[in-house]
Amino acid sequence: MSEQTRFILNESDLPKQWYNVLADSPVPPAPVLNPQTLEPITPEFLSVLFPMELIMQEISTDRYIDIPEEVREMYKLWRPTPLIRARRLEKALGTPAHIYYKYEGASPSGSHKPNTAVAQAFYNKAAGVKAMTTETGAGQWGSALAMACNFFDLDLEVYMVKVSYGLKPYRRIMMESFGAKVFPSPTDATNYGRSVLEENPDSPGSLGIAISEAVEVAAMSNGAKKYGLGSVLNHVLTHQSVIGEEALKQMDMADEYPDVVIGCVGGGSNFAGIAYPFLRENLKNGQRTRLLAVEPTATPSLTKGEYAFDYGDTAKMAPVVKMHTLGHGFVPPTIHAGGLRYHGMAPSLSALFDAGLVDAVSVHQKTTFDAALQFARTEGILAAPESAHAIRAAIDEALDAKAKDEKRVILFNLSGHGHFDLASYETYLAGELEDYAHPAEAIEKATEELPDIA
């Protein structure tokens, strides 16, 4: 066991390949379906939205995919990211547990999202694409793709969930500073946005609605624009595997190995990024690390959702996938973890959870902010509200180890900083934050609208 606090890799340690969990998963996800025919989707259909190289990565079962040298060089702006032992937090908790966190907030845009944003922008540029569209919830993904599109001289339109557009103006300004155009979703600029506003002029928006708008714009551009997605699909999760691959080397530097690996989940990208390489070690090399996904009680797709085929967006334009879902019509409450408000979960992660290879818990908003402040006051980092869910679970694990007088090695992914989330902290500090648990009857009603797949 090392006495160090920070474990820093050299640029030469930057992974040269992404890890694709589909090569090793004993429960591969079900087929992806065409939203119009409900038949297995074709590469031709997907090519309206994505360049062919990303489509091939989406369906690949190769264990490793080479990272293009141009992407690796751009990664060096922030990677490898540090692994840090939270010694001051351990002391404050009085726990025998050792707590480590992988700090993805070290990236230029402040989160893990550039790991896939740079890759997607690269492949779109290589395919001759001139412009992209996307959606964003809290703004972390939109900021990352705006930065990446700027690097590769691509235009970008971002459809930002309206409630986040209002709550997180600095994320919008950051995107605009990189040259992106940002719209509060639902907008009156798309057919689907107008239909939502006609039904509910005060709609707060949702990721499902924003996805529908971004997909519509790309699909109707006659190939002039492609769509970029920040989570859920397998090529996105594969790009994020650099997090876990680095963490494996850094835990070796610490001369320890995690008993539990933790990440927050909305669509699944940062959790998969840190957890999937450790899952490989479980499956291939006999390790027994517990993999714990943490979600809000307000959007409990894993812990309470239905495991079924559902549309990826509200307008039923995106592909149909089998996932844990709250229903494609789900409109979330205005919780402050905007990046965790998606109605579904990544198909690969859903399949692994259903098979018992991944665990999940849900936590309330207030206790999540409690944990975030405890972490900030001991470790000095103000975390994004999304990342604070992982902090909450890590603290709970450490307290459980204390109660059992048990040494436990805990690793969590601190997926982003909260420097643009101060309005959320202000609400919490003023005592105005409210907890919300998504009601079972709402989930039951939503499942009535799921597509009928034989």
Q: Is 42 exposed, middle or buried (0-12, 13-18, 19+ CB in 10 A)?
A: exposed
Query: What's at 254, amino acid-wise?
Result: A
Q: How far is CA 335 from the centre of its chain?
A: 16
Cα separation, 67 vs 11, in Å, equals: 14
Structural domains of the chain in order of their starting residue, each with its CATH number? 6-14+77-110+241-447 (3.40.50.1100), 17-67+113-234 (3.40.50.1100)
The Cα–Cα gap between 100 and 58 comes to 31
What pLDDT, on a 0 to 100 scale, did the predictor assign at position 334? 59
DSSP-assigned letter for residue 106: G
Helix, strand, coil percent values for the chain (each to nearest 5)? 45, 20, 40
Position 451 scores a pLDDT of 86
Ordered alpha helix ranges (H), 336-384: 347-354, 365-379
What averages of pLDDT result for each successive group of 10 residues across the chain (454 residues)? 91 97 91 89 89 94 97 97 98 98 96 98 97 92 97 97 87 96 95 94 88 93 93 95 98 98 95 98 97 94 93 84 89 61 89 97 94 98 95 98 97 95 90 80 80 79
Whole-number pLDDT of residue 270 = 94
154 phi and psi, to 5 degrees?
-115, 140
Question: pTM of the predicted model, to two decimals?
Answer: 0.94
CB-based contact 258:409 (threshold 8 Å): yes
Q: What is the pLDDT of residue 437?
A: 76
Token match 């959320």: residue? 424
Alpha carbon 4 to its chain centroid, in Å, reads: 30
Measured CA to CA, the distance from residue 34 to residue 16 in angstroms comes to 34
Select from 206, 211, 153, 158 the least CA-distant residue to 182: 158
Q: What is the pLDDT of residue 116?
A: 98
As a whole number of angstroms, the distance between CA 397 and CA 126 comes to: 45
Residue 69's pLDDT is what? 97
